[in-house]
Amino acid sequence: MNNWTLSRLTGPSDERPEPFSQHSHPDDVSASHHDMLTTVIGSKEDSLASIIHNYKHGFSCFALYIAYLGEKKHDDPTLVTGSHHDMLSSIIGSKEEAKASITYSYKHGFSGFAAMLTEDQAEDLAELPEVISITPNQKHELMTTRSWDFLGLKNEPPSELLQRSNYGEDIIIGIIDTGIWPESKSFHDHGYDAIPSRWKGVCQLGEAWGPSNCSRKIIGARYYAAGLDKANFKKNYMSARDNNGHGTHTASTAAGVVVEGVNLHGLGAGVARGGAPRARLAVYKVGWEEGGAGGSYLATAAVLAALDDAIHDGVDILSLSLGVDENSFGALHAVQNGITVIYAGGNRGPRPQVLYNTAPWVITVAASKIDRSFPTAITLGNKQTLVGQSLYYKLKNNTESRFESLVNGGNCSREALNGTSINGKVVLCIELTFGPIGRIFEDVFAGVIQGGASGLIFAFYTTDVLLSTEDCKGIACVFVDNEIGYQVATYIGSERLPTVKIEPASSITGNQVPAPKVAIFSSRGPSIKYPTVLKPDIAAPGVNILAAKEDAYVFNSGTSMAAPHVAGVVALLKALHPHWSHAALKSAIVTTASTKDEYDTPILAEALPRKVADPFDYGGGNINPIGAADPGLIYDIDPKDYNKFFACQIKKYEICNITTLPAYHLNLPSISIPDLRHPINVRRAVTNVGEVDAVYQSSIESPLGVKMTIEPPVLVFNASKKVHAFKICITPLWKVQGGYTFGSLTWYNEHHTARIPIAVRITIQDFYADRFPAFLLFCVWLLMIRGIYGSRKLYIAYLGEKKYDDPTLVTASHHDMLTSVLGSKEEALASIAYSYKHGFSGFAAMLTEEQADNLAVISVTPNKQHELLTTRSWDFLGLNYQPPNKLLQRSKYGEDVIIGMIDTGIWPESRSFSDHGYGPIPSRWKGVSSIAAGAVVDGVSVHGLATGVARGGAPRARLAVYKVIWNTGNSLQLASAGVLAALDDAIHDGVDILSLSIHADEDSFGALHAVQKGITIVYAGGNDGPRPQVIFNTAPWVITAAASKIDRSFPTTITLGNKQTLVGQSLYYKLNNESKSGFQPLVNGGDCSKGALNGTTINGSIVLCIEITYGPILNFVNTVFENVFSGGASGLIFGLYTTDMLLRTEDCQGIPCVLVDIDIGSQVATYIGSQSMPVAKIEPAHSITGKEVLAPKVAIFSSRGPSTRYPTVLKPDIAAPGVNILAAKEDGYAFNSGTSMAAPHVAGVIALLKALHPDWSHAALKSAIVTSASTKDEYGMPILAEALPRKVADPFDYGGGNINPNGAADPGLIYNIDPMDYNKFFACKIKKHEICNITTLPAYHLNLPSISIPELRHPIKVRRAVTNVGEVDAVYQSAIQSPLGVKIDVEPPTLVFNAAKKVNTFKVSMRPLWKVQGEYTFGSLTWYNEHHTVRIPIAVRITIRDFYADVA
């Protein structure tokens, strides 16, 4: 078999490794490797001269390659290298050239080497049967007091685990990183005994590193500089000394000794120490400063050399806070030699599918936040005190804080600051987009500093980038959320000379700060390389960690900081349980991890928006050292068992034998099933390491949509039975193309709880991937089954040209034909639905399949029901048109309700606006656009996709058009004045409903007056999601709509040259006269930036682009499309974190553009890397609707709450279809997405309700849709929200839920509001920047169908009233779902209605259960009886803001 595995995965040729400068390796036992390479390279003298010349001058045909030969065949390292020489001698030639080219010889833990070779030489080497793989060297990036106390490992008094493990005494932790600063107080060796005799390592001398720099604490030091360009030597210590600080920080975190009085400018003051302060350290420097950016880089070859040496040296644990190839055979050999290997998982979160270092034999670590906060008081000139977060400090000789000028810099882009004087002022910057956090802050800070600002208040969606504020060049940099940013902006707008004072930060620790939380930057699963392995394994502290750097201590954040926390814990466990295997240690920390915080609430994950953490965020949970010391049961693995799985993975791009076992059969302490189609059995075994005689019960939490059973359900252990095997049967409950859902299996008794996480994704990939013909076969199969049971369907019989001019005779012939099949004329007359008698002869009749087969005609075809997306959206909401839904009939399709569309105008000639069959215009109309009220139009599609009937929600409603948006050439613009004029005219004209899919001023008094005149106002909530706090149009008197996805999908088949079939999403089509799809060349374009595509020929090829960062989706899509199209590509496969931008693929200049997730993108990349001439074929898209597509889901672009302007009003109110909506555009029909599409769906429903209940107020209509909304999908699963990563939706995603028109028509109870009551709240807001009288009521006292309490500090009471609009005599019971951390009571708990009592009031009491500066949590209050369920959402945030502000 060809072993050639050069990396085509990395994309264009310009990204391949550059040639490395030769640097002498300290170990001279590689002579045999030199001999081997001599045989490959050729003649001794000429070849040597040539290679040295080329090498010195950077001749680009040479690159560093890594040859892996598997297990070493000799114990003597010299014999291992000798065998390499013999092997290569048969191919290459000169021994001298081999010596010159080799950089590393791997001879301790495994057999292999790294050498400078040409591509041809590497290919020849790969052909040898002894060579398992040849890979080009790759460069990788590093990932970057209180934490140990937070984990329960207190130093004073010492925790029991620290004492029992003797602080990790004599455990040897290897740190593969940027080196170490040996003089740091964290590494002194006072009180240490002699170095353990098992240690075989060395103290390698070098620049600024002498013999005394190794000690009884730092017992070994090596460095690996081969391949580092000599131009970078001056930037580095050519030794194990750390000039970056990263390695010193990680080493001191894992095993630093106790150092008193550590702080950073007074912040984080306390005792610095590692997790295992008595452990020994072995340092392997592989990271070096390179280039002009100041970043640290490392090479795979060096990491492998370090792993090989570490195996030889005798380390117990290896901690690698760096991003290397997770398929590393070096790590596998280390584990098989008894070493525990711990990797950082990466800092590319919160995007899913970006986790790396996910091999099943390593421990992969996520980063979490600890219970420490750095509140910073901001005092405005009006004495209002707000609180942000910073690391701002003042030196002792600095003056006290004082008031300074304050200016609003918008988003602080160059354009925003242009013309604004910021010199000597504090600048407010509000960043409304999202993306890589550090990059955004750096850009903003650079502009502010350049302008001479004296301070920065930065409103952003996270403070996980807090350490960026440490280096603010002497000025105060404070992070706040958007709500506080809006308050500062409001103050600035109200003052002629606004001022502000910023105090230095202070430290707060303890249970006032909710923790742990998964950090926003922490990379998320699932693993794209090992989807059958659940990753990460564990989370550990990684945010604002204070540890050593040179002679001082600094904060740092990253999974780089989390990994050494795990290493420290494992060192303690290894000291306590010296005979435990790597798998046992891993099992102990995973099965005992915490999934709840100190208040017993689920751990949260910082994300976009924040969410409850799941196993793809934190694996088993947050590390719990005390629990891990005594886990009760462990899931152990024979290290050789990994080979059963690794056989497919060691050859990176080889399509392996499918008979190898999937990794979920490994005895891992987790289960991941990425494609559950049929019931499967997974086996596990547990070993008892607790009490000898023990009985464990099982507890199953099945993932949603999955049934799990376990056999046996009880395990009994004794002295003779220490290991028990068991079987888990996992069965899908439905057939659906789903996302991952999560559960767990727990074994427990009175002493121990051992829990493993489970992730399952139900798929119907065969159905998806077998393309459209398979879909038709599926339908035919369904018809066949129905035919067997005699079920009738509508069939169309075509007889060709009619034989009579008289239509009655044609019809009679149809009856006669059917009579001959059915047996009687009466049956024939009853079965026929349509007789085609004018243009041709034929009929449609209800027949069984057998009867249809017996018809002797030209053709018989089953009737097909065609749907278009807008039509589908209404059908999806339950408003079926054929047969007509009951609500449509009762409301007469919204007849004569007048909907005003304030938008870009209308195209009156569209068929959607035909007035055929309408009566006179309603007399109340005094006036002188299609989704809401479009007429019924048959045969609508876009290039054959979504074919069917187009209609609005209220097709008999009238339309009034108010054009306020104008095309300026570059963009669409509107003015508040124009909107107000339209609102004013609409009030005069007599409209019933106004739909505004625009971003207008939500404080608009025009909208308030319209509501007070009886008009229902529906606004789009905006398309700035998934970031929180960006929803607009949130005034309490309007309905604010979020966007959701419906049950329609556009699967697009991608067939690779190896016949592998994958499925993406697109709107790609082929016209009738175009040729069929064919195979075309396929190339990897990396991220398809201009730099990545430079030098890569893409003309006439399909290009794979994978975007591994995140940010505003449209920006990525437009940039990639532009670069690919300009290069002449014939197709695009785009790996992105969402397909909610599907409609962008409609306009792909005639080429197929297919969106895929990162998992499928990686599979395509793997295929490209395995082929010399990769090809692919892309089929046109087709439509799939129904339960196979999980819906609804909140769209990723839909703006999220809470409202920054009205935090006491819960927004959005409702979600409605807004993704890929097909509706009228000029004379045609087009797809569109946005909350602009959702708002008219709501308007259409309101029109039906208004026609059905003409006397209901705006508040009653709003209440009806909110209280009856759906929070679960058709399978009874909670509605999901597309986000980063995907999450279960909450009220800030969708308000009351997804709109349910049929439920809203009969809500039972309504929350009504006198329109004049809004004035009690609006008095504060009518003057936009006026500081209003505080005696006005907060908005949560309005009788809204929701409750939002943004700062619950003390118990409060909220009153509500409900009006009965259902059965006259009715009794309703209350059901309360209290937000986490809050106790809710309702008085009275039962409401009784009758003819004399139509309105009932009640009181909702809310009490915080703890004192904490918390986040929003969610609940609900439901009134229910046998006929109705009336639910309102509740959002509560517990605060101790007084405490925060008073300490600053």
Q: Is 177 a catalytic residue?
A: yes
Q: If you write DSSP's letter for every residue of 577-627 in order, what string do you get?
A: STT--HHHHHHHHHHT-B-B-TTSPBPEE--BS-EE--HHHHTT-B--HHH
Selecting among 94, 101, 373, 560, the annotated active-site residue is: 560
Q: What is d(CA 1173, CA 1179) in angstroms, rounded to the nearest whole number?
A: 20
Provide the angle, in degrees to the nearest 10, between the axes of the packed helices 31-41 and 77-89: 10
Residue that the structure tokens 């003819």 belong to: 1395
Cα 857 to Cα 784, 817, 822, 826: the distances in Å are: 20, 10, 15, 21
| Strand order from edge to edge, sheet including 288-289 | 139-141, 296-299, 288-289
Selecting among 903, 992, 1047, 1273, the annotated active-site residue is: 903
Q: Is 925 helix (H, G, I), strand (E, B) or coil?
A: coil
Note whether 1438 and 599 are within 8 A (CB). Answer: no
Residue that the structure tokens 């170990």 belong to: 27
In this structure, what token pair is assigned to residue 865?
A: 């029901």
Selecting among 84, 246, 1241, 1253, the annotated active-site residue is: 246
Q: List residues bridging with 397 in a β-sheet.
A: none
| Helix (H), strand (E) at residue 40 | helix 31-41
Cα 384 to Cα 401, 460, 732, 1059, 1337: the distances in Å are: 16, 20, 56, 67, 19
Note whether 1072 and 1043 are within 8 A (CB). Answer: no
Give the number of other CB atoms < 10 A from CB of residue 1107: 22
Q: Is 560 a catalytic residue?
A: yes
Residue burial 144-172, b: 16+ Cβ < 10 Å; e: rest: bbbbbbbbbbebeeebebbeebebbbbbb
In this structure, what token pair is assigned to residue 300?
A: 């795979």
Note whether 1142 and 1066 are within 8 A (CB). Answer: yes
Q: Count of alpha carbons within 13 Å of 654, Cβ hemisphere only?
A: 20
Note whether 518 and 595 are within 8 A (CB). Answer: no
Helices (H) and strands (E) in the chain, counts: 36, 76
Say how far residue 611 (Cα) sits from the centre of its chain. Answer: 10
Residue 886 has phi, psi (to 5 degrees) of: -60, -40
Angle at 591 (CA atoms; ends 630, 703), nearest 5 degrees: 155
- Determine the length of the chain: 1448
Note whether 959 and 974 are within 8 A (CB). Answer: no
Note whether 408 and 429 are within 8 A (CB). Answer: no
Q: What is d(CA 664, CA 645) in angstroms, rounded to the nearest whole number?
A: 10
Backbone CA torsion sign across 977, 979, 984, 988 = positive
Q: Is 1446 a catalytic residue?
A: no
Single-letter residue type at 602: P
Q: If you write DSSP's letter for every residue of 1271-1282 in order, what string do you get?
A: -B-TTSPBPEE-
Selecting among 124, 149, 170, 177, the annotated active-site residue is: 177
Backbone CA torsion sign across 285, 286, 291, 295 = negative
Selecting among 105, 215, 1236, 1268, the annotated active-site residue is: 1236
| Helix (H), strand (E) at residue 723 | strand 723-732
Selecting among 23, 25, 312, 943, the annotated active-site residue is: 943
Q: What is d(CA 659, CA 672) in angstroms, rounded to the nearest whole number?
A: 19
Q: What is d(CA 420, CA 782) in angstroms, rounded to the nearest whole number?
A: 68
Q: Is 751 a catalytic residue?
A: no
Q: Is 943 a catalytic residue?
A: yes
Residue burial 20-53, b: 16+ Cβ < 10 Å; e: rest: bbbeebebeebbbbbbbbbbbbbeeeebbebbee
Annotated catalytic sites, by residue?
177, 246, 560, 903, 943, 1236
